[in-house]
């Protein structure tokens, strides 16, 4: 061990903590926005807003990181992407309904932060990808 590995791990831990706090803040803002939108528009329209924002954010990602270009998926990957899309749509629909009915608790949303803190106390080796909840898939 050269000594700089521990420093890198501390930096990644700090980045993870900052990301968790920012996710909690953004989640609260989204909950307020959904409650406000629910007074004026249908629940399915709110889902379309999520889709439009996601497409815009991912398109901007291609301009920021040009090395991540479009790859034509094979049949298996296409099937998996369709299944992920359907599952995400249903999940977002149910989550919006819980936000609108105010049945979702703030304690339930904070479980991610508590889980991260427990992992830190247990000494789990957290990388930046596990902090982001991202997994690199090489096909």
Which tokens in the block code for residue 83? 């299944």
CB under 8 Å to 99, separation ≥6 — which residues? 31, 34, 35, 38
Q: What is the DSSP letter of 67?
A: T
Give the range of the structural domain holding residue 88, as residue numbers without chain letter: 18-124
138 in any annotated domain: no
10 in any annotated domain: no
Tell me how far apart the terminal alpha carbons of the chain are, to the nearest angstrom.
32
103 in any annotated domain: yes
Q: Beta-carbon neighbour count of residue 120 at 10 Å? A: 13
Number of domains the chain is built from: 1
25 in any annotated domain: yes
51 in any annotated domain: yes
Q: What is the DSSP letter of 48?
A: H
134 in any annotated domain: no
104 in any annotated domain: yes
- What mean pLDDT do residues 1-24 have? 73
Residues 84-116 have pLDDT tens digits of 888 888 887 787 777 677 655 555 556 666 777
Confidence class for position 2, pLDDT limits 50, 70, 90: low
12 in any annotated domain: no
């Amino acid at each position: 061990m050269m000594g700089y590995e521990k420093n890198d791990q501390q930096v990644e831990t700090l980045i993870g903590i900052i990301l968790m706090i920012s996710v909690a803040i953004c989640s609260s803002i989204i909950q307020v926005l959904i409650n406000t939108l629910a007074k004026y528009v249908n629940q399915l329209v709110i889902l379309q807003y999520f889709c439009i924002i996601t497409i815009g954010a991912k398109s901007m990602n291609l301009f920021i990181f040009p090395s991540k270009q479009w790859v034509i998926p094979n049949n298996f990957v296409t099937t998996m992407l369709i299944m992920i899309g359907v599952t995400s749509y249903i999940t977002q629909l149910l989550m919006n309904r819980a936000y609108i009915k105010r049945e979702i608790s703030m304690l339930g949303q904070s479980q991610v932060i508590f889980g991260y803190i427990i992992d830190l106390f247990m000494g789990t080796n957290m990388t930046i990808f596990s902090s982001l909840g991202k997994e690199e898939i090489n096909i």
